[in-house]
A = this chain, B = another copy of it.
Amino acid sequence: MTKLRYAMVGGGRDAFIGAVHRKAMALDGEFEFVAGALSSSPDKALASGRDLGLADDRNHADWQALLADELKRPKTERIDCVSIVTPNHMHFPVARAFADAGIHVVCDKPLVHSSEQAAELAAVVARRGVVFGVTYNYTGYPMVREARDLVRSGAIGEVRKVIVEYNQGWLATRLEETLQKQADWRTDPARSGIAGAIGDIGSHAENLVATVTGLELDSLCADLTTFVPGRRLDDDGNLLLRFTNGARGVLIASQIEVGCENDLRLRVFGSSGTLDWHQEEPNTLLHSPIDGPRRVLTRGSAWLGEAARRATRLPTGHPEAFIEAFANVYLGVAAHIRALQSGAAPLPIEADYPTLADGARGVRFIEKTVESARSEHKWTRMD
């Protein structure tokens, strides 16, 4: 089977997440990296492409040149999709342009800066019929998919409460002053958007809850704080949540919790059972039924559901981790692209990935969180 050709925008030297995307796409042999515009700095873009072995004629100084060049190429050679891994503020123009050109898109989160942008992007995507994936990568973990299936199957009864936490500590000091690249743009409103921790990681937490529970947020009450003097965006956020079915929730997203690395944890409490998943030990899902002892579900086990099994590469005890979860998102996108290319109408079961709707909902969540935090009357409806 031939590989899908992809270009990357962003992800050059000093970037972090671009390399993760490339490794995730390389892992299963579904994608081939053929073109790029890897930095907003033309020199760095070209140097980065050479580092990574891009052919000179497909290594571009900016994304406009990349797009123009691809459109000149015959379909048999043109990229199938683009992976957008720039700082947030570039997601919108790049994604819109490539989608509008009929090229499938994978874009990092948070999707765009505003619900208006999200709506405009959605219109383009719908018109052109392209595949659009958003790399809420944590939903790619097999045990997250198992959790989703368990909730859907009724294994824990009706969901009553959710606690989701995303605890990090790497911004507990003013790291951006050192010009560390990740800290630099994430704390800059022009590039990051209206929110700091809430946008960067709170949006992952929101997506994880929505994906696993299927619950719809009704309203929220947010307390956002900037602890590090001189920082321009929130570095800590704590929210109370209410869902339309009456469930309640707590969402914590912080980047000043010293000693916390990438401590994303989701607990879902139902009327007859509880699920507990922790990103730092992703191969395990704890399930506590109301009428028996806690069950330690592990990736690769015979008793897991179909979705978790499909997302699994290795036997139990041979841990899979962050890159594999990322790769699962890309496998979902690939399955969808291949289904479209082969003319197969219905979405295949393998096309399991976060979509533009997830991205748009995430933008809405950020907007409402900031609105709640800024208002006097804190509880804010999602409308």
| Interface positions of A (Cβ within 8 A of B) | 1-3, 16, 19-20, 22-23, 26-29, 33, 51-53, 156, 160-161, 163, 165, 168-170, 172-173, 221, 223, 225, 227, 236, 238, 240, 242, 248-250, 252, 254, 256-263, 267, 269-274, 279-283, 286-290, 292-298, 300-301, 303, 313-324, 376-379
Contacts and interface: CB of A to CB of B under 8 A. Distances in A.
A280 B240 CA distance: 26
B273 A248 contact: no
Nearest to A2: B53
- Copies in the assembly, this chain: 4
A1 B53 contact: yes
Given A256-B160, A319-B282, A19 B313 contact: yes
| Ranked 10 nearest A-B pairs via Cβ | A259-B288, A261-B317, A262-B317, A321-B321, A319-B321, A294-B296, A261-B316, A259-B274, A293-B295, A318-B322
Given A221-B378, A223-B240, 8 more contacts: A29-B33, A161-B257, A221-B223, A257-B269, A258-B274, A281-B281, A287-B293, A294-B295
A303 B288 CA distance: 13
B314 A53 contact: no
Given A53-B3, A321-B321, A23 B16 contact: no
A221 B236 contact: no
A269 B295 contact: no
Contact of A240 (B221, B249, B288): B221
